[in-house]
Amino acid sequence: MKFSTRSSYGLRALAHLAKYYGNKPYSLAKVAQEEKISQAYLERLFSRLKKAGILVSSKGMAGGYQLARKPAQISILSVIEALEGTVSVFKCLGVRGDLICSQKSCPSGFVYQKVQKALTDSLSSMTLNDLIKNN
């Protein structure tokens, strides 16, 4: 599975907001300009992130976007799932990593499940705070 630009741009924009966590709301236009992301595209991403409860917005002259929680409380997995949908490496695995293909006795199933678990565990253990610490 390849993650799309939704994930890479979304993570970049959220890392930008994470750096300024606790300050006043940050305008979408400013994030778009500083991260060199199309404002229209970023607007669609922020809409998804707001719907997922990752961002909050405020209107008015001093309005903009902020993280809904501390950067250390927002997992990378939650961001990717908000932007991409359920992370699934193999078509034959369900949302919870269970085998859903017609061949329940598939010898590769065990490997698929192990890879899926490793990916979701890894993404769950990383937060936006990790992004700004390593940048």
84-134: pLDDT as tens digits: 988 877 777 776 677 777 666 777 777 888 888 888 899 999 999 999 987
CA distance 1 to 7: 12
> H helices of the chain, where?
5-19, 28-35, 39-51, 76-84, 109-125, 128-133
40-95: pLDDT as tens digits: 999 999 999 999 999 999 988 888 999 999 999 999 999 999 999 888 777 777 76
User: Domains in the chain and their CATH numbers?
Assistant: 5-86+127-133 (1.10.10.10)
Six-digit token string for 47: 């809409």
Please check whether residue 27 is in contact with residue 64, taking contact to mean a CB–CB distance below 8 angstroms. yes
CA distance 1 to 120: 13
